[in-house]
């Protein structure tokens, strides 16, 4: 399908689900929270079952974003702090990651999704890291949605790494402290080259950002839902986008300034 035909399909889908096709978020960031509580509520002995079912929710949401023709979906899959969870849960999550990468590759290809990762992916177990890179490479020429997995990711750590790189340029005499701009920091973040998220969705009722994309969420709209991640579905996503569409994004300006063209 060519780009024009594609965009007609996306507009039809946006209208079909009751969204304003001209006011879509280009980038949605998600904190997929509540897997452990979901497993407990369902009577499962292990929290890992919640993460397994969480993969199905991730597939649903990725497919829904691709069908709407969105540009970017970035999900918090494993934080730097998550390494401190019990070993059984960390091992379980790494296995889930490996299996999901194996199983979901055909789905990503079918939906023209490009896989990407941010975070300290070198600290993942070697097999998981290798599998991740192979799926990133296999989907690199897809030009639909970019699905970014934040893995071994922490935003403060990301900023420290970026600042260290800028400091090295200063120490080498290539940059003066006075000439440091936001762009210098930006280009050393894991997300360099990506647009900032327009909308942050967090499931499970918690209302915090937990060291996620602190720099990049500067002007994002926040949407919190009590639904636990394994239960989150396309309808929930449409509701989040509909709420986003009702917000007035002022980027520090006044309402009046926004209406003056």
Beta bridge partners of 114: 146
Question: By the 8 A CB rule, do 229 and 30 touch?
Answer: no
Smallest separation (angstroms) from ligand FPP to the CB of 219? 25
Residue 82 annotated as catalytic: yes
CB of 198 to ligand FPP, least distance (A): 22
Nearest residue relative to ligand FPP (C-beta): 36
Annotated active-site residue in 82, 112, 142, 211: 82
Any contact of residue 62 with ligand FPP (CB under 6 A)? no
The only residue of 82, 210, 243, 245 in contact with ligand FPP, by rule CB under 6 A: 82
What one-character DSSP code corresponds to residue 252?
T
Residue from 29, 30, 48, 55 that binds ligand FPP (CB under 6 A)? 55
35 lies in the binding site for ligand FPP (CB under 6 A): yes
Which range touches ligand FPP (CB under 6 A), out of 29-37, 107-115, 132-140, 213-221? 29-37
- Residue 96 binds ligand FPP, judged by CB under 6 A: yes
Q: Is 100 in the site for ligand FPP (CB under 6 A)?
A: yes
- Of 50 and 188, nearer to ligand FPP (C-beta) is 50
Q: How far is the CB of 42 from ligand FPP (least distance, A)?
A: 12
Q: Which of 51, 114, 131, 188 binds ligand FPP (CB under 6 A)?
A: 51
In angstroms, the CA 230 to CA 37 distance is 10
- For this structure, is 129 an active site residue? no
By the 8 A CB rule, do 205 and 224 touch? yes
Q: Which of 103, 150, 98, 148 is nearest to 125 (CA)?
A: 98
CA distance 240 to 184: 33
Q: DSSP E strands: which ranges in the chain?
A: 27-31, 72-79, 114-118, 146-153, 199-202, 221-224
Find the part of the chain contacting ligand FPP (CB under 6 A) among 6-14, 91-99, 182-190, 253-261. Answer: 91-99
Residue 188 in tokens: 């050393």
Residue pair 220/200 in contact (Cβ under 8 Å)? The answer is yes
Strand order of the β-sheet with 146-153 is 114-118, 146-153, 72-79, 27-31, 199-202, 221-224
Instruction: Give yes or no for residue 77 binding ligand FPP (CB under 6 A).
Output: yes
- Distance in angstroms (rounded) separating the CA atoms of residues 68 and 11: 7
**50: part of which helix (H) or strand (E)?**
helix 48-67
# chain residues binding ligand FPP, by CB under 6 A: 21
In the complex, the smallest distance separating the C-beta of residue 123 from ligand FPP, rounded to whole angstroms, is 14
| Residue 178 DSSP one-character state | G
By CB under 6 A, name the binding residues for ligand FPP: 32-37, 47, 51, 54-55, 58, 77-78, 82, 93, 96-97, 100, 149, 204, 229
Which residues have a catalytic role annotated?
33, 82
């Amino acid at each position: 399908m060519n780009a024009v035909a594609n965009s007609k399909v996306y507009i039809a889908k946006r209208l079909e689900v009751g969204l304003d096709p001209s006011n879509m978020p280009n980038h949605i960031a998600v904190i997929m929270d509540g897997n452990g509580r979901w497993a407990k509520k369902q009577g499962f002995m292990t929290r890992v079952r919640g993460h397994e079912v969480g993969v199905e929710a991730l597939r649903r949401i990725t497919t829904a974003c691709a069908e709407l023709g969105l540009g970017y979906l970035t999900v918090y899959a494993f934080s730097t702090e998550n390494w401190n969870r019990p070993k059984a849960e960390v091992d379980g999550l790494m296995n889930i990651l490996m299996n999901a990468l194996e199983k979901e590759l055909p789905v990503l290809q079918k939906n023209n999704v490009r896989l990407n990762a941010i975070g300290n992916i070198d600290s993942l177990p070697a097999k998981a890291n290798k599998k991740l890179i192979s799926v990133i490479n296999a989907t690199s020429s897809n030009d639909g949605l970019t699905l970014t997995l934040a893995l071994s990711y922490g935003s403060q750590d990301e900023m420290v790494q970026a600042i260290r790189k800028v400091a090295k340029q200063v120490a080498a005499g290539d940059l003066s402290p006075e000439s440091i701009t936001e762009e210098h920091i930006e280009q050393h973040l894991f997300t360099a080259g990506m647009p900032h998220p327009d909308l942050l969705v967090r499931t499970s009722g918690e209302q915090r950002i937990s060291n996620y994309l602190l720099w990049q969420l500067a002007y994002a709209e926040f949407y919190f839902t009590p639904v636990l991640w394994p239960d989150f579905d396309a309808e929930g996503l449409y509701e989040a986008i509909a709420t986003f569409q009702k917000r007035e994004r002022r980027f520090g300006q006044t309402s009046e300034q926004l209406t003056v063209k």
